[in-house]
Structure 1
Amino acid sequence: WGNVNPIGPRGVYDEAKRFAEAMTMAYHRYHRIDTKIVRIFNTYGPRMRLRDGRVVPAFIGQALSGQPLSVFGDGSQTRSFCYVSDLIDGIFRLAMSNFHEPVNLGNPREMTIKQFADEIIRITGTKSTIEYRPLPVDDPKVRQPDITRAKDVLGWEPRVGFEEGIKKTIEYFKESLNR
């Protein structure tokens, strides 16, 4: 199937996104409406909710609380993380363009979940450890955007480095937890 299983437990989520894109393109073609399709990949930054179920706030919250970081599977699955200001820049560029096909906006710099957990522990300076848990069924092994179209059509690519962005995000969570 590629990186996602269309008939697995996550299939409805993945197929719903594909359906929405198909409907948007059909609407654009039929009604000649100016539509845009953005495919967003793992965005992070200040103002995230601590318990929204995503790995960035989960790991930061666990580390700042001195808890073990919950890594599902062996941690070898990969993700890429795009800082919120980079995403906003990409969305703005697409909105101002005459382009109507899907555009991937994300950071192609990939890291394993284990590497990500290690970085969160290092940057927060906590003594948290890693606790391994069973990998959910159909969890994608790879999530890395191909941003060729964003570069070619929009002149866009992420500019905020991982360490810079994650430090700003950690500072936000520190302030939030101290309120």
Structure 2
Amino acid sequence: MKGVVITVNPEGNINVGSRLQSDPSNSCLNISPKTRVGGLPITQLCLQHRINICYTNLFYFHRREKLIAANMAKMPKMIADWRREKRESKLKQKEEKARRDMLLSQARERFGYAVDPRSPKFLEMVAEIEKEEKKRRKLVKRRLKEEQVAAPVTPPADSS
């Protein structure tokens, strides 16, 4: 029984066959998993005689089917997320391009000629503009905070 292979197909049937023949379909004997030989289950008999049992992915087949079904259930959400991320990245690219074009036009106005975006002059100008914007944001934030402190919340008057 040295060249015998027992396989379990996806339907759950056990196939007993020989590895020595070139065509395994001709050498397999299809038997039920519940088959008993001499009062012993076929799997136990095979273990006693050291016959290789190759479960042809029965366990893995069902586990993989469940995984595929779960992933297919998630697919619409995954597609929607992918589309949303793609839209957001395109929007971000457009905003970045508009910002770069605005900075280049400001540099052209300031210096009187087209400036290379990699030049130190341009990078210095961008740093100055960003610094000014940061100061403006801080000032607006401070004014809002002062307005909130200056205008205390008055409780509603009793209507008695």
- Give me the TM-score of the superposition, normalised by structure 2: 0.20
Which structure ranks higher in relative contact order (CA pairs < 8 Å, sequence separation ≥ 6)?
A: 1
Q: Compare the two structures and name the one with the higher helix fraction.
A: 2
Say which one has the larger Rg. 2
